[in-house]
Amino acid sequence: SQLCWREYLTTRIEQNMVVSCTCPISECRAQPTTAFICSIVSSEEIKAKYEKALLRAYVECCSNLTWCTNPQGCDQILLKDGLGYGAACSKCSWISCFNCNFPEAHYPASCSHMSHMTCAKCNHGFCWRCLKPWRPTHKDYYNCSAMVSKAAWQEKRFQDYNERCTFHHHAREFAMNLRNRVTSIGEVPKIRTLTFVLDACKVLEQARKVLAYSCVYSYYNQDTESMDIVEQQTESLELHTNAL
């Protein structure tokens, strides 16, 4: 009956299973059409959920489409179109990375850098050569006592870069909060335009973002010939950013 179909389809829509649902008769594999579903379901709220489900399914099927990855939430659909690291979302200005699962464009760090980060939360120590947990009593520790100092140096080096990266991310959040406060002030009558301040905040956010991911890039590329130039440019950017 129509009532049975309405209850069945409504349940499927609320469970986000409507796109793949079939006739409730076990032997029948026919799928209800969009026109049929819209003629059965009467609730506008349920219809809206169905339309969103159709949109999600369409985006997932199209290899050149994706959702904005802004962790704060954004329902904008983006066109990949071979843009590599991505382009700014026209709705929230977030820049997504289309090449990996990291939620944000992370230049100059590569996608492989972002997917091979070391855990800095639990401070787990391990032998860099055999990967066994580090202990002073580890009998075959590196199989060479001369390697111990290198492991300690690597651990200290990671901590230094991780602290720098974290600092720039926090500084970026400060710039974002500052921009939001300036925006609210600009809405007050009789306050002269603060566009130049907002522009400065945006530049500050972008600079802190590049500096943060430069730490990742430098950590994994320390031995390359171009690192002297990269470090010089990074230092110059950091000095100007701090001044701003």
Total residues found in the chain within this entry: 244
Which pLDDT score, from 0 to 100, does residue 203 have? 93
Distance CA 79, CA 102 (A): 17
pLDDT at position 136 is: 44
Output the six-digit token pair for 142.
């590196």
Residue 124, number of CB atoms within 10 A of its CB: 10
pLDDT of residue 240: 93
pLDDT of the residue at 160: 84
Query: pLDDT tens digits, residue range 28-78?
Result: 888 888 888 888 888 888 888 888 888 888 888 887 788 888 877 788 888
Whether residue 46 contacts residue 13, with contact meaning beta carbons closer than 8 Å, is answered with: yes
Determine the pLDDT at residue 138.
42
- Classify 66 as helix, strand or coil: strand
Q: Report cis status (omega within 30 of 0) of the bond before 108.
A: yes
Q: For the chain, list residues with pLDDT below 50.
A: 83-84, 116-121, 123-124, 126-131, 134-148
C-alpha distances (whole Å) from 206 to each of 131, 135, 203 are 37, 42, 5
Helix 148-186 to helix 195-220 angle (10° resolution) is 170
Using the Cα atoms of residue 221, residue 227, residue 233 and residue 234 in order, give the sign of their dihedral: positive
101 Cβ partners below 8 Å, 6+ apart?
115
Whether this prediction's pTM lies above 0.85 is answered by: no
Question: What's the pLDDT at 204?
Answer: 94
